[in-house]
């Protein structure tokens, strides 16, 4: 089982997280930000990654620090659980339709973090969460996970659907990318023999 625990404690947030890449999608999440909890639950369920997460942050200011630090902690846990990344599929992609919305997500667990974010919103908030924070979460996750991540909402009108399809798309793409390929379980999926560094 590829598991990891992460504790991230700063003056702004206190986060404790456990995950299992080879799980069933079980989750127990509480960040204090209801909409973020909902998205993380979708991520766990559709990636089949078991996730337990507790976060306390300076929500009396706003949800920025909590959102960003949860992204960092989750990305770090994925990276730790992957270890040397031997045998993984490395790449994953998904198209996620959600009513009128269609979103495309592609990921490369290359150990070279990069985010392309092509997602627009027409509302400043969903619940109590600023919509601009979703890009911050995906950026933090990609950086800490060592992932090249492209997220594009191809079209859509409902902001809730747009965001949820982004998280579900990440979940399905991540599920493919972390899977072990039994034909190459002992090899790093790169002609260089290692992931990261230069192209």
The pLDDT tens digits of the residues spanning 85-140 come to 999 999 999 999 999 999 999 999 999 999 999 999 999 999 889 999 999 999 99
Note the pLDDT tens digit of each residue in 58-69. Answer: 999 999 999 999
pLDDT of residue 37: 97
- pLDDT of 181: 87
**Which contiguous run of DSSP H or E holds residue 45?**
helix 34-47
- H/E stretch holding 179: none
Q: Which two tokens stand for residue 170?
A: 């990440």
For residues 125 and 123, give the distance between their C-alpha atoms in angstroms, rounded to a whole number. 6
Question: Which residue has tokens 């009513």?
Answer: 99
- Whether pLDDT at 187 is above 60: yes
Q: Are 146 and 113 in contact (CB under 8 A)?
A: yes
Query: What is the predicted pLDDT for the residue at 186?
Result: 77
Residue 159 — φ and ψ, nearest 5°? -60, -35
CA distance 55 to 66: 7
Rounded CA-CA distance 178/48 in Å is 11
pLDDT for 193 beyond 90: no
Q: How is the beta sheet containing 101-108 ordered, strand by strand?
A: 91-98, 101-108, 148-155, 114-118
CA dist., res. 118 & res. 106, Å (int): 12
Q: Spell out the residues 6+ positions from residue 78 whose beta carbon is closer than 8 angstroms to its own.
A: 4, 19, 21, 49, 144, 145, 147, 174, 178
Question: What is the CATH architecture assignment of 3-184?
Answer: 2-Layer Sandwich (3.30)
pTM: 0.93
Question: Would you state the pLDDT for residue 183?
Answer: 83
Query: Does the structure show a pLDDT above 50 at 199?
Result: no
Q: State mean pLDDT over 166-178.
A: 98
């Amino acid at each position: 089982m590829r598991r990891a625990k992460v504790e991230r404690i700063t003056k702004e947030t206190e986060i404790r997280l456990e995950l299992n890449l080879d799980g069933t999608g079980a989750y127990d999440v509480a960040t204090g930000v209801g909409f973020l909890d909902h998205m993380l639950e979708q991520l766990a369920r559709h990636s089949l990654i078991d996730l337990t997460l507790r976060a306390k942050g300076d929500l009396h200011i706003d949800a920025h620090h909590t959102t960003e630090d949860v992204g960092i902690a989750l990305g770090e846990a994925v990276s730790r659980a992957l270890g040397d990344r031997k045998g993984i599929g490395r790449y994953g992609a998904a198209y996620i339709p959600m009513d009128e919305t269609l979103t495309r997500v592609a990921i490369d667990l290359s150990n070279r973090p990069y985010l392309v974010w092509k997602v627009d919103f027409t509302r400043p908030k969903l619940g109590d969460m600023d919509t601009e924070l979703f890009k911050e979460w995906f950026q933090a996750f990609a950086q800490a996970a060592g992932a090249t991540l492209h997220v594009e909402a191809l079209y859509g009108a409902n902001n809730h659907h747009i965001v949820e399809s982004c998280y579900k798309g990440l979940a399905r793409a991540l599920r493919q990318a972390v899977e072990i390929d039994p034909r190459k379980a002992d090899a790093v999926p790169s002609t260089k023999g290692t992931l990261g560094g230069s192209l």
